[in-house]
Amino acid sequence: MLEKKKDYHAWLYLLIPLALLSLFTFFPLFKTILISFDNGYNKWQDAFSFAFSLDSYKAIFNYPPFLRTLWNTVLIVFISVPLSTIVALLIAVALNSIKPLQKIFQSIFFLPYVTNTIAIGMVFAVLFNLHTGLINGVLQLFGVEKLNWINSNDGFFMGSYFRRMFVLQLYLLWHTLAFKILVFIGGLQNISKQYYDAAKVDSAPKTRVFTKITVPLLSPLIAFILITSFIGAFKTYDAVIGIFGADWNKTADIQTIVGFVYQQLKTDSVDSYSKGAAAAVVLFVIILAFTAINLYVSKKRVHY
Amino acid sequence: MDIKLSNLTKIFKDSKGRETRAVDHFDTLIPNGKLIGLLGPSGCGKSTTLYMIAGLLTPTEGRIFFGDDDVTDLTPEKRGIGLVFQNYALYPHMTVRQNIMFPLENLKIEKEEAKIMTEDMARLVGIHELLDRKPAQLSGGQQQRVAIARALVKKPKVLLLDEPLSNLDARLRLQTREEIKRIQKETGITTIFVTHDQEEAMSISDEIVVMNFGLEQQKGEPQVVYDQPNNQFVAKFLGTPPIGLFNGTVKGNKLYIGESAILTNKILEKTQGEVIVGIRPEGYTPSESGALEISYSFIESIGRDISLVSNHPESLTPSFRLIVADTIKVTPNSMKFNVKKEKCFVFNKDNGERVL
């Protein structure tokens, strides 16, 4: 009797979150998948043809702007995430080993986390401005002629695309460092000092202490940071808008998959929702597969 | 290789600038190949001393010598020591084999040779069938042996053990302390271990150093220190059950506890007036004409002997124990005793120094 009453109460408490989740998560997810497979979804009338095929997927994989955003996303994921994780780890270890001013440095490194992405993006845009930017100013001191970092989208490698990607990666590196450093410092402070004393007595050189003791003992946190950062990086969007602006025509070369999906909401063509939905599902599947691989690998490599 | 501590001092400062003298001008000589117990109550500076010998703490003052070499300014890795931590500090992510091999890899010893050394060491401490386990899969006693193996595998000149038995249960403790003694004998390595457990220290040490307030109180073979304590602290710290302490007075050459004259000795003539008298629990002989009448509240049978939980108006503690053979006929409530003179010590009331 009592058990049943409890059951009923539990469901009552779950009702509100379940209703909200259904409305804002499950329903859109389901509808997106449906749209992506539907053979002639009409976005103006929100009408399904209920004939299913892979046409939308074939369409986007034959559509160069999408392939470009896919490539950009992959570049962001595989450069900025490993790089920022390694840099954050080194900074955290360095911060953890100094005593004076540690709190102040910690605060400075944490600042990017609490500032607005778009605002910082605009600051980057100003820093890298062709005529008035600080970076070009400094480069000029060394005799390098002014470089166009932000605008124009001509050329590919070593052209302005390369420079734009460089600015974007630098921004992502800097912006994602803060949280990682914070997490790593917390983890480092949890490692018993005795392991380091033991390593000293065991004559371990500093690099070996780092690779054989610090990294393995921190590995659960490193895995956590890597998995969440990979997911976050796959969904990069606001950084691009912050630095390069929201005009698709000026940013198409540097945009990400999420940017492509957003763009499909704005165009006039009748099949844009189908393409956007297909792109969103592709992103979803990539993230799912990637996270599964991550979890599988970390199970073998992480020491809990 | 002898270890010499000369004028060793360690002062800790807290954030408010208050100073704590953990070790205070400590001098001692630890002879080569011996097993030495550093013994004292918690906070007496014994662990601090050990960590200074290891090089993990820097002395505020004084020097440390290994043989003729001054090692005070050397880092731990250059001192050639093995250290076993109180909770072993085994690397949790490495197997037993990797743990033991870790110091060898650091010293760039060839892999095949390191493997053989690891296995030999594992056999010596009796854990060779556990080499592929992780520390979390081992019992406390096994972890302890891995820690000793890791400390010894690089053939250090000195082995340091910080409270090596404190994490083990009573039975394992007995077994492990014999094990430590055996390993020390087999390797002949100079070994210093820290403990607050006097029984532990006395049972396995070649010599003990009793410390208090960062100072050496007495040093010597365990039995000698027990039989001839330098001062009231040492007498009180060694022995289970602990020594009974009484207010006493010296008049002429006689020692009184209350109204009872319990001893006569010429040496006492130099000390007149109030003193502290310490009598070991085993220092009483029952006698109908005994000088000292002691009442007791209850009797504990501890197997071979009988322990009487006693009280006396002049005792410094509410109760004390005395031990008599179980062949003695115990009369209810109180008995008269004579005091064995070799089990009775007289201390200066002001500074605790031994008078007799």
- Give the tens place of pLDDT for each residue, B81-113: 889 988 888 999 999 999 999 999 888 888 898
Same domain, A122 and A8: no
ipTM over 0.85: no
- pLDDT tier, A41 (very low <50, low <70, confident <90, very high otherwise): confident
Does residue B350 register a pLDDT over 80? Answer: yes
Q: Give chain A's domain count.
A: 2
Q: Do A197 and B91 touch (CB under 8 A)?
A: no
- What DSSP character marks residue B134? -
Which pLDDT score is estimated for B253?
Answer: 83
Q: How do residues B162-172 score in pLDDT, each as one tens digit?
A: 888 877 777 77
Half-sphere exposure (Cβ direction) of A164: Cα atoms closer than 13 Å: 25
Same domain, A185 and A295: yes
Out of B56, B92, B93, the one facing A197 most closely (by C-beta) is B56
Q: Is residue A45 part of a domain?
A: no
Same domain, A11 and A136: no
Q: Is residue A202 part of a domain?
A: yes
Least confident of A5-14, B79-88, B102-111, B231-240: A5-14
Does residue B197 register a pLDDT over 90? Answer: no
Contact B243, B316 (CB under 8 A): no
Nearest chain B Cα distance for residue A220, angstroms: 12
Work out the average pLDDT over A186-205: 89
Fold of the domain spanning B3-237: Rossmann fold (3.40.50)
Assess A99–B contact: CB distance below 8 Å, yes or no. no
Same domain, A22 and A117: no
Same domain, A20 and A68: no
Q: Do A200 and B85 touch (CB under 8 A)?
A: no
Report the alpha-carbon distance of residue B214 to residue B47 in Å, rounded. 10
Q: What is the CATH number of the domain that holds A263?
A: 1.10.3720.10
Residue B49 burial (CB < 10 Å; 0-12/13-18/19+)?
buried
Same domain, A77 and A136: yes
Residues 6+ apart with CB under 8 A from B143: B88, B90, B135
Which segment, A149-158, A277-286, B264-273, is predicted with the most confidence on average? Answer: A277-286
Out of A197, A208, A216, the one facing B89 most closely (by C-beta) is A197
Contacting residues of B for A208, CB less than 8 Å apart? 105-106
Same domain, A140 and A6: no
Same domain, A143 and A217: yes
Nearest chain A Cα distance for residue B212, angstroms: 25
Report the alpha-carbon distance of residue A236 to residue B166 in Å, rounded. 54
Which two tokens mark B286? 């029952």
Chains A and B form CB pairs within 8 A to the count of 59
Q: pTM for the full model?
A: 0.78
Same domain, A149 and A253: yes
Contacting residues of B for A222, CB less than 8 Å apart? none
Which pLDDT score is estimated for B257?
Answer: 85
Which pLDDT score is estimated for A3?
Answer: 58
Does residue A158 register a pLDDT over 50? Answer: no
Out of A194, A203, A216, the one facing B85 most closely (by C-beta) is A194
- Alpha-helical (H) ranges within B153-231 are 170-187, 198-204, 222-227
Out of A198, A213, A216, the one facing B85 most closely (by C-beta) is A198
Does residue B125 register a pLDDT over 50? Answer: yes
Report the alpha-carbon distance of residue B89 to residue B172 in Å, rounded. 19
**Which of B15, B75, B90, B102 to mutate: most A Cβ within 10 Å?**
B102
Q: Do B77 and A198 touch (CB under 8 A)?
A: no
Same domain, A245 and A198: yes
Which residues span the domain enclosing A210? Answer: 64-301
Q: Do A200 and B103 touch (CB under 8 A)?
A: no
Does residue B30 register a pLDDT over 70? Answer: yes
Q: Is residue A239 part of a domain?
A: yes
Does residue A80 register a pLDDT over 90? Answer: yes
| Helices A64-97 and A102-114: angle between axes, nearest 10 degrees | 160
Which pLDDT score is estimated for B1?
Answer: 79
Residue A48 burial (CB < 10 Å; 0-12/13-18/19+)?
middle
Q: Which residue has the higher pLDDT, B304 or B322?
A: B322
Same domain, A22 and A75: no
Q: Do A303 and B56 touch (CB under 8 A)?
A: no
Contacting residues of A for B55, CB less than 8 Å apart? 200-201
- pLDDT tier, A304 (very low <50, low <70, confident <90, very high otherwise): low
Cite the residue boundaries of each domain of chain B with CATH code 3.40.50.300: 3-237
Same domain, A157 and A258: yes
Enumerate chain B positions whose Cβ falls within 8 A of a Cβ in A. Answer: 54-56, 75-77, 81-83, 85, 87, 89, 91-93, 102-103, 105-107, 150-151, 154
Q: Is residue A54 part of a domain?
A: no
Q: Do A217 and B54 touch (CB under 8 A)?
A: no
Nearest Cα residue in chain B from A204 = B106
